[in-house]
Structures are given as C-alpha cells and as structure tokens.
Amino acid sequence: MKMNAQNRLLAILAALLWLSAVLIEKPWEGGAHERTTAQVAPLFPELQLQRQNISKIHIQSAEKSVTLHRTSAGFVVENKFGHLANPTRIIQLVDSLSFLDNRDVVSVNPEKRATFGVQDGAGTRIIVENPQGEVLADLIGGKLREMDPFSSSQVRLDFYVRPSGRDEVLLVSAYQPPSVEAADWLEADLFSFEAADITTASRMEFPSGESWTLTRDGPEAWRMDHPEKRDIDLYEGDSWAFSFANLSVSDVWARLKPGENPDDEYGFSTNLFRVETQQGNALELRLGGLAPNSDRFAWVVGEEWVYSIPSHTVEQLCKPFSSTSED
C-alpha cells in the first residue's frame, strides 16, 4: 500500500518528535532521575570531608561578630575571654552547613542579590576554616522567603543563601541563621551535678543577716535546721534544689587570674549560697549587684569566671519555705 502525502508528513513529524525526546532524555546516560540526582552536589564538600578538622568558625553581620576557636578543651568563644562554647549549638551549625546542596538555584544574576539579602556586607556571613587556614565553608545567609501562612497546611522556613564568591543564590530549608551575639554561644550550665545530688544547702543575705539551712532527709523529705528545726514541703525543697543545680549563664563579664577576687564593682556582698553534694563536694555561690538586662552578677568562689544569671532564677532561690501540712 502506498503512503499518501499526509501520512508521510505525519510519519516524519512522529520521527522528529521521537528523535527530540531521545536527545532530551539521553537514555544512554541513565534515567532522568539518576541524572538529576547526579547533578545535585553539596555546597561545601570539603566541610563534609573535614568536619572533624574544623579549627575556627567566624560569624558576622553588618553590626556584630563572634569567633569560635577549637582548643584542647573544646570550642571557646573568643569574644568572651575564651570561655567554653556550647558544643550542641556548634554541632547544629556545622550540620546545617554540611546538609546544604545546590538543588534549588533561584538566581545567578549579581544585580538581584540585594533582593534576596545576600549581597556582600549584608545578611549573616559564616566562615569555617581548618588549622591550615583553608576555608571549608563560606556562606552568606539572607532573607526569609515570604509565604502566605494560609496557603499551606505546613509551616516551612526557607532562607535565601549564597556561597561567598559565587553567583548562585539558593533557597534552602536545612539552615537557620546563627546568632551573632557572643553570649548566645556560651556553655550555659553553671554546674555539672544533679538536683538529687544536693544533701545540704544554706543561704545568707547581707546586710540583713537573714539565713536558713536545709538538709535532705531521705529521698522524699527535706527539713530546715536553721533558723528553726521543722519539716518543709517536699515540692518546695525539690524545686529549690532543681533551680540551683540547673542555674544557667546569661553572660560572662570577667576572667580572673588564679587567686584573684572579683572587683568591687560587681557587688558580691548581697547573697551567699553554700551547697554540699553526696559526692562530698562543696561550693559557694555569691550573687552580686544588678547586671545589664536586670540580671544578677554571680561568682562561684575559687573559679575564674564572673557571670551574670537571669533575675527570675535568683527570685526562685530566694523564696521563703512553708511548713509541711502536719505542722
């Protein structure tokens, strides 16, 4: 049977379409999914390879910066007299940078950088280095993508970022802007023991001289030995011990030399707490005057750091104790 002109034209068009599809899909290179996956790569491959070899992290905004250095004791906050940094926060930051990839490029136009808040000198810049000074990651974190909260059933925070020195602006979700407040990177726990470890505690207030002494009387009882002998409410005793054992640092204000006492400006003459633990350890915490943000200066006698702690925790430590219901 002879093919008429119309059928020949249709056959030619079908062949051209098939050829176009073959050229686009390139089956000899594998499936489309495999090829797309092969093109996705981490933004900072060297960071993934050398994350255990990080020696320095520098975080900078237009107004503030913080630098974290690795020492034999762990990472320290350079801006805070070399105080230990919070290891969990550092791990979270390194993880977020390691997970970033080039999957979602939204622009390669340098003139559009300001639109996304990733131009040089803007946003939050993070630089990670190894001991040789080689840069393992250098990222500028920009604006949060605007979204209609009523258009999606799931809230998702996506940020625009740009690897410094490159044109690609990406939209990523595995990223949270790190704080540039040095105090936010401090190891916040003041003590390393548990509330259940506390066996005795005492407080003295100056200049009034008011004081009390508590003793743990078994696993489920507390008693007051001074200024009077009486049982106190179990919940109040446990609550006080929990508040003390879990005191957190809001900032560091000085690093003392061995044997040095804090300057008078910190006012360490208002409250004194002494605690003994079942491990036989004893410590003395002195509270001073008001620090910025209405916090209170704090110093563990014999240690090198002058801290501030939140005022609301001080209020919890200074609350009076009520008697048990049997009294």
Q: Taking the CA of residue 74 as centre, how many other CA atoms within 13 Å lie in the half-sphere pointing to its CB?
A: 13
51 and 94 Cβ atoms separated by less than 8 Å? yes
pLDDT of residue 322: 79
pLDDT of residue 5: 60
Cα–Cα dist 113/306, whole Å: 43
Provide mean pLDDT across the span 293-300: 94
3-state secondary structure of 142: strand
Cα–Cα dist 43/163, whole Å: 8
Could you report the per-residue pLDDT of 181-222, keeping only the tens digit for each? 999 999 999 999 999 999 999 999 887 778 999 999 988 899
3-state secondary structure of 268: coil
The one-character DSSP state at 150 is T
CATH topology of domain 195-317: Immunoglobulin-like (2.60.40)
Residue 97's nearest CA partner among 136, 66, 60, 130 is: 136
Q: Is the pLDDT of residue 179 over 60?
A: yes
How remote is the C-alpha of 229 from its chain's centroid?
45
pLDDT of residue 10: 55
Tokens of 228: 């009077």
Could you report the per-residue pLDDT of 83-126, keeping only the tens digit for each? 999 999 999 999 999 999 998 999 999 999 999 999 999 999 99
Could you report the per-residue pLDDT of 133-153, keeping only the tens digit for each? 999 999 999 999 876 555 555
Cα–Cα dist 209/254, whole Å: 28
Provide mean pLDDT across the span 217-241: 92
214 and 201 Cβ atoms separated by less than 8 Å? yes
Sign of CA dihedral 269, 252, 194, 294: positive
Provide mean pLDDT across the span 320-326: 68
- Domain limits of the chain? 45-185, 195-317
b/e 276-296 (16+ beta carbons within 10 angstroms → b): bbeeeeebebbbbeebeeebb
b/e 69-86 (16+ beta carbons within 10 angstroms → b): bbeeeebbbbbbeebbbb
pLDDT of residue 155: 56
pLDDT of residue 207: 78
Cα–Cα dist 205/287, whole Å: 10
